[in-house]
Amino acid sequence: MGNTRFDVCAPGGIWGSQFQNSINNQIPKHELGTVAAWRKFFLGIPRRRSRAYFKQMAFVIVIGAGVSGLVCARKLQSAGVGVRVLEKSRSLGGRSASRQFEGAVIDTGAQYLSLGCESLLTEVQCLLGPNLCEIDLPLLDERMQVRPGGSRYFHREGNNRLGKALAQGLQVELEHQVTRIETGDRRVLVDGMECDAVVLSAPWTQSAALLGFETGTIYEPCLTAAFAYEGPPSGPGHIVYGLMGTDALAWSACENAKRGRVPDDLTMMIAQASPDFSVENFDQPPETWGAELREMIEMRWEIDPSRFRSQFTHRWKFSRRMAPSGGVDQLPAGCFVAGDSVCESRVESVWQSGASTAEAVMDWLSSGSA
């Protein structure tokens, strides 16, 4: 961490090797990444600093290694800001989640990326290269009409790979659940770690709790399941990618449409329950609601139940935001919010929100108000 930031002003810089030696003598190696150590070191240097200098000496903590947090962290780091990402879970990508199941890769969170903005498409293509693939089967809406809209993309090895690609070169600490944010006196403490700014990228319900704000129920839960069947897709499964629903089965899709993901002798179906069904069944055992979703999948997709092999279930407590997040305009100084707290719950939107939040943080740092 911090190498990019600190290298900017160390060797060969205005202070040269004398400065480097002085750093080596005064800051223990393990403290190189702490703002406190650097502030102590610089005590005595005149307060008046250039904007660029301040930005390069700044240290920002990003909470959450979902797409928005990682995009924000990358933009900050590439501008020379020191960044550390703290993620409570063991994996990267947040709700762009995938897993291995029955020898296939399935997306348990975001199903596909809609990259309507051309500059964003180019950016994602540069990041993922040939791993960014397009779904070439249609999606049907509630009236069984082909749903219009632009291309739908997926990562060949699982949409969670987007998080892995974004995290390359960043310092990310997994299994660190942030529990405390303190602000005041022109500084921010995140679990006791001092920084110049903090970016909260978790769903607003979680971010608001860290800031001590009250929220109502503003996120929909989503019960989701994957069902594996013997044999290749038949019925609509080989000509349609997904079906939107109006009943308990709000979304269903055949993962085989994501070419290269599912073994040839298997059909892999994904089911997402409606918000009402999810609320009603959230605390019920997965076998109960899983069986109901499975029945609906078999009926809608004309799958012979005797082909059933196994199922995987997952409960998303905060899947999509359904109401505006109040309070994001009253954040304490040095606190910023990215992700679907401030935009639509779509990968494309949270990506852009991560980028614009990084801009806002840099403005704040450059203005010297931190």
Ligand X SMILES: Cc1cc2nc3c(=O)[nH]c(=O)nc-3n(C[C@H](O)[C@H](O)[C@H](O)COP(=O)(O)OP(=O)(O)OC[C@H]3O[C@@H](n4cnc5c(N)ncnc54)[C@H](O)[C@@H]3O)c2cc1C
Write out the residues near ligand X by the rule CB under 6 A.
63-69, 86-89, 94-96, 109-114, 177-178, 201-203, 206, 222, 224, 272, 316, 319-320, 339-340, 345-348, 350
Provide the minimum distance between the beta carbon of 25 and ligand X in the complex, in angstroms, as a whole number. 35
Residue whose CB is less far from ligand X, 57 or 62: 62
How does strand 249-254 pair with strand 266-273? antiparallel
Backbone phi and psi for residue 296, each to the nearest 5 degrees, phi listed first: -70, -40
Residue 328 Cβ, how far from ligand X at the closest point, in Å?
13
Given the complex with ligand X, which of 66 and 80 has the nearer CB atom? Answer: 66
Nearer to ligand X, 57 or 172 (CB): 172
SS3 helix, strand, coil % of the chain, rounded to 5?
A: 35, 25, 40
Strand partners, 337: 200
The label of the residue with tokens 């599912």 reads: 262
| DSSP code of residue 43 | T
Query: Could you please report the per-residue DSSP string of 129-190?
Result: GGGEEE--S-EE-TTSPBP--S--EEETT-TTHHHHHHHTTS-EETT-----EEEETTEEEE
Pick between residue 286 and residue 368 the one whose CB is nearest to ligand X: 286
Smaller CB distance to ligand X: residue 38 or 340? 340
- Supply the minimum distance, in Å, between the C-beta of residue 325 and ligand X: 12
Minimum distance between the CB of residue 153 and ligand X, rounded to whole angstroms?
10
Comparison of 224 and 281: residue with beta carbon closer to ligand X: 224
| 3-state SS class at 256 | helix
Strand partners, 230: 266
CB of 86 to ligand X, least distance (A): 5
From residue 190, how far is each of 41, 74, 202, 359, 367 by CA, in Å?
22, 20, 15, 21, 22
Residue 326 Cβ vs ligand X, minimum distance, rounded to whole Å: 18
Contacts of residue 140, defined as CB under 8 A and 6 or more positions apart, other chains included, come to 146, 147, 240, 242, 243, 244
Note whether 205 and 215 are within 8 A (CB).
Answer: yes
Give yes or no for a contact between 140 and 252, defined as CB atoms under 8 angstroms apart: no
CB 242 within 8 A of CB 111: yes
C-beta of 23 vs 193, nearer to ligand X: 193
Residue with tokens 């943080």: 361
Shortest distance in whole angstroms from residue 193 CB to ligand X: 12
CB of 300 to ligand X, least distance (A): 18
Which residue's CB is nearer to ligand X, number 112 or number 241?
Answer: 112
Q: How far is the CB of 231 from ligand X (least distance, A)?
A: 26
CB-nearer residue toward ligand X: 8 or 127? 127
- When computed from its CA atoms, the radius of gyration of the chain, rounded to whole angstroms, is 23
Asked whether the beta carbons of 269 and 255 are under 8 A apart, the reply is: yes
